[in-house]
């Protein structure tokens, strides 16, 4: 299984409702791409503020295997949601950090 974790630094003007709309759109991919095992989103509650560097939001997908992850990456619906997310981030692509690990 692959966990695809994405850490986000949203612009200050992005509301919680806008974030939830993006997370809801991402959650909808579970019914669209076979092999998505789970989707979660959370707030970063770390007290190590200098190390957090403003990455206060995160989400992750658990994929059955790398082939599902690879399907997700090129999926047009995912790419459209990703573009909306990047547009809402501080610094655009500089406001995202992605990490994939095997579980």
**Residue ranges of domains in the chain, CATH in brackets:** 2-102 (3.30.70.100)
Q: Render pLDDT for 12-69 as a digit per residue (tens, 0 to 9).
A: 999 999 999 999 999 999 999 999 999 999 999 999 999 999 999 999 999 999 999 9
User: Taking residues 69-94, what's their average pLDDT?
Assistant: 98
Q: Render pLDDT for 28-41 as a digit per residue (tens, 0 to 9).
A: 999 999 999 999 99
CA distance 71 to 4: 13
CA distance 102 to 66: 9
């Amino acid at each position: 299984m692959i966990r695809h974790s994405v850490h986000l630094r949203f612009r200050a003007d992005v509301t919680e409702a806008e974030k939830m709309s993006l997370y809801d759109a991402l959650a909808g991919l579970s019914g669209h791409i076979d092999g998505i095992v789970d989707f979660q989103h959370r707030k970063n509650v770390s007290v190590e503020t200098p190390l957090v560097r403003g990455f206060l939001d995160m989400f992750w997908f658990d994929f059955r295997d790398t082939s599902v992850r690879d399907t997700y990456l090129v999926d047009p619906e995912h790419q459209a949601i990703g573009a909306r997310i990047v547009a809402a981030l501080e610094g655009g692509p500089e406001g995202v950090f992605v990490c994939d690990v095997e579980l």
